[in-house]
Amino acid sequence: MIKQNQKIVELNQSIEDLDVKLKAVSKEKEAARAKNTELLIVKRRLENDKTERDKDIVELKEINRKLDVKLEKVDKENEAARKKNKDHISTKHRLESEKAEQHQKITALNQSIEALNIRLEELGKENEGLDKLRRGAELAADYVLKERRVLAKTSENAIQREQEKHEGLILDLESKVASLTSEADAALMAAESYRNTLEEEREKHADERRSLEAEAENYRISRKRVKTTLMARVEEVNKAKADEVKASRLAVEAKGQEVARLQAQIRDLKFDIASRTTEADRAHERSNNLFEEIAKQAEERCSLEGRIEKLCDELHDSEAAKVLITTKSHEQDAAFQKKRSELTKTIEKLKAEVQTLSLSLEAKEQEETILQDRLGDAESRIASLVATSLLREASIDGQKAQHAADVDCIKALNKELSKLRDETSAKIEVALAEMDKHASRASLLRKDMDERNEAFCMTIANERECRVAFLQKIEDDKTNFVEQSTRAEQLRLEAYNAASERILELETATRHLREELEGAGLIRLDIQTEANRRISELEATIFQLEECMRIQTQRLREAKEEGRQALLRLKADEVEHRMKVESLTQSLRQLEATSSRDKEYQQRAERFLDYVRSQLSREIEDQVNRDEKAAEEATMEGLQVRLTRKLDVIEKERNWYKQCCDEYWEKYLEQDRQRRRVKRDLYLATHAD
């Protein structure tokens, strides 16, 4: 009985020891469950951090998208401004072409005037030669007078035609000037509308700038909130660490017999503390990175503001250039109006001079009629003298043969004079036909505007050569005529030596007639020289006006060329900037594509980790249930071995999960560095422009 009682007591003690051990094992299980819950809490916190980081990434992508939208708006505005500049350039080219056409027409008119003046000079020279020939042609006096009247009438008709042509050209020029002024007013209205649109676009830029500033303020406030939440989380983690340290110390003091196991657990706890401290440091680094991103976004905002200010300055510069162009066009229009008024004044003066010349020509015609009356009286005298000479020819029958020879010579001279008369009439008809052709040639001469200076020089040289040749021809004709006249005089002297006094009277009468004809020829020469002088003065004034117009057109072309070069430079800079922005946006899109691929990979990894997590939790729960069922049969050593194995498996899973998280974090940092590099390049490109 005593032995049985002792065995019962021993069994009771062993049962009590087993109960104590079971309680210790249950406590250890509870501690393991608490650790598992803590690990799950840490995992949830990490998942929350990941979600917040994903939210930050989404916000950054949204900000980048907004920046891309704003850049696209700026590009569209630049394209609209470029189109408006193209329209302005097209209007400028049209005005230039119209001014060039006007200049060509003016030069064509000047060339036609020069050609007419040259032809008038040639006709004047031919008239002088005809006058000289007419002095020696006594028998052709009536014909010469008739031709002179015809020439006077044709010259008046030609002058009237030229006046009508000049008046028509002046009216055309005035209409073209009016059209140019209307087009200039239209261009000014277009410039004012463009200025209004630019002001509206500037107001839009200001509104967008205000919205960007508001978004930046909201972003700062959200960053501050995130910072406060992160600090609170860090404090919570530190408190949890302190609580865990206290619990570990109490466990060490309570369980001295399980020092080795508890030391291993303490090492595990220390490792967990180190990992959590590293996670806290990483969270702190993430907060610092977020602050750096905020600063970079502020820098980008400043760069955008600088770019907007630069665009505003460029707009101001373009407006100033437009104002200069408009002022230059107004000045040129004023100068053109002034020149036009001067031309009208000169034309009025010329009209007055033409009227005076017409009056002088009428006076000269009256004088010519008086001279014709005198010639009629002289011819009557000559007829009476011829009658008396014929009555007395019977006394000189002995000299009939010589007289017949003299008569033959005189007939030959008359034939030559008739030939000269026919030639002069043919020349006059050719001159009239050429004067009629000048009106048709004026339209053809308008096409030869660009070769004006060369043609002018060539015409001057040809004029000199023609003048020299014509003077030489006149000298030759003069010498021939002098020789013929001397020969005729000799024949006359030899023929009429016998007719003494009466023939002398005839010679005196013919001498008087010659003097009167020479006086009439000198009067015509004076009229011709006066007309030539007036024409030369008109040519000089026209040349001065052409020179002024040429200088003005040259200045206008230079100003337009400078404006065109400036627009081309602006266009080249804009194209370069556009290419840079396109390359940067392309790189950003590539990075976004890679980040999206990484995000998909991250989601897959997270799904896989969730699956592994669920499997591990199920296995742990099943194992715990199995351990609870087999706790009565298991010994302490088996429990320790199984627990160590489970802890090793859990440690391996945790290390694998930690390695995956570190790899993902490194990828995220690499993408963030690339994104920062791209933003820095974009910032440098914008500030370099």
Which residues fall within 8 angstroms of residue 559, CB to CB, at 6 or more apart? 325, 328
- DSSP single-letter state for residue 446: T
| Secondary structure (H, E, C), 364-392 | HHHHHHHHHHHHHHHHHHHHHHHHHHHHC
- Residue that wins the pLDDT comparison between 582 and 612: 582
CB atoms near residue 463 (< 10 Å): 15
Which residues fall within 8 angstroms of residue 396, CB to CB, at 6 or more apart? 403, 498, 499
On the question of pLDDT at 378 being above 60, the answer is no
d(CA 458, CA 639): 125
Task: Give, in order, the Cα–Cα distances in Å from 576 to each of 300, 583, 688.
Answer: 20, 11, 11
d(CA 469, CA 138): 28
- pLDDT-derived band at 671 (thresholds 50, 70, 90) equals confident
What confidence score (pLDDT) does residue 652 get?
A: 74
Which residues fall within 8 angstroms of residue 519, CB to CB, at 6 or more apart? 371
d(CA 498, CA 81): 106
On the question of pLDDT at 100 being above 60, the answer is yes
d(CA 545, CA 552): 11
d(CA 5, CA 10): 8
- pLDDT-derived band at 239 (thresholds 50, 70, 90) equals confident
pTM over 0.75: no
* pLDDT tens by residue, 400-421: 666 566 556 656 655 665 666 5
Q: What is the CA radius of gyration of the chain?
A: 60
The answer to whether the CB of 282 falls within 8 A of the CB of 668 is: no
What confidence score (pLDDT) does residue 648 get?
A: 73
- DSSP single-letter state for residue 54: H
What confidence score (pLDDT) does residue 27 get?
A: 74
The answer to whether the CB of 84 falls within 8 A of the CB of 194 is: yes
**Which of 42-46, 51-55, 515-519, 651-655 has the weakest average pLDDT?**
515-519
Amino acid of residue 13: Q
User: What does the block give as tokens for 482?
Assistant: 């002098």
On the question of pLDDT at 428 being above 60, the answer is no
d(CA 254, CA 246): 12
User: What does the block give as tokens for 324?
Assistant: 């200069």
Rounded to an integer, the average pLDDT of 177-189 is: 59
User: What does the block give as tokens for 464?
Assistant: 């000199």
What is the length of the chain?
689
- pLDDT-derived band at 397 (thresholds 50, 70, 90) equals low
Amino acid of residue 566: A
d(CA 547, CA 270): 100
Task: Give, in order, the Cα–Cα distances in Å from 639 to each of 37, 277, 643.
Answer: 21, 32, 6
Nearest Cα residue to 136 out of 500, 496, 525, 479: 479
The answer to whether the CB of 319 falls within 8 A of the CB of 198 is: yes
Nearest Cα residue to 442 out of 179, 96, 99, 119: 119
Rounded to an integer, the average pLDDT of 148-170 is: 60
Task: Give, in order, the Cα–Cα distances in Å from 580 to each of 79, 356, 446, 570, 653.
Answer: 16, 76, 51, 15, 48
Handedness of CA 250, 255, 256, 262 (dihedral sign): negative
Residue 517, classified by CB atoms within 10 Å of its CB into exposed (0-12), middle (13-18) or buried (19+), is buried
Nearest Cα residue to 570 out of 202, 89, 68: 89
Rounded to an integer, the average pLDDT of 147-168 is: 60
**DSSP letters along 553-620, please?**
HHHHHHHHHHHHHHHHHHHHHHHHHHHHHHHHHHHHHHHHHHHHHHHHHHHHHHHHHHHHHHHHHHHH
d(CA 154, CA 119): 14
Question: Degrees (nearest 5) of the Cα angle 646, 651, 654?
Answer: 125
What confidence score (pLDDT) does residue 462 get?
A: 64
- First-residue to last-residue Cα distance in the chain: 109
* pLDDT tens by residue, 551-609: 766 766 776 676 677 667 766 766 765 676 666 667 666 666 666 666 665 666 566 66
User: What does the block give as tokens for 209?
Assistant: 């700038």
Query: To which residue do tokens 């040349």 refer?
Result: 543
On the question of pLDDT at 677 being above 70, the answer is yes
Which residues fall within 8 angstroms of residue 190, CB to CB, at 6 or more apart? 87, 88, 91
Amino acid of residue 387: A
Which residues fall within 8 angstroms of residue 642, CB to CB, at 6 or more apart? 627, 634
d(CA 528, CA 497): 41
The answer to whether the CB of 43 falls within 8 A of the CB of 613 is: yes
The answer to whether the CB of 138 falls within 8 A of the CB of 510 is: yes
d(CA 337, CA 347): 15
On the question of pLDDT at 521 being above 60, the answer is no
| Secondary structure (H, E, C), 64-108 | HHHHHHHHHHHHHHHHHHHHHHHHHHHHHHHHHHHHHHHHHHHHH
Task: Give, in order, the Cα–Cα distances in Å from 489 to each of 407, 454, 485, 492.
Answer: 13, 51, 6, 5
Find how far residue 131's CA is from the centre of its chain. Answer: 65
- pLDDT-derived band at 422 (thresholds 50, 70, 90) equals low
What confidence score (pLDDT) does residue 432 get?
A: 55
The residue extents of the domains of the chain are 1-129
Query: To which residue do tokens 């008396």 refer?
Result: 388
On the question of pLDDT at 74 being above 70, the answer is no
Rounded to an integer, the average pLDDT of 614-633 is: 59
d(CA 59, CA 57): 5
Residue 552, classified by CB atoms within 10 Å of its CB into exposed (0-12), middle (13-18) or buried (19+), is middle
d(CA 228, CA 214): 21
Which residues fall within 8 angstroms of residue 527, CB to CB, at 6 or more apart? 357, 360, 361, 364
d(CA 402, CA 408): 10
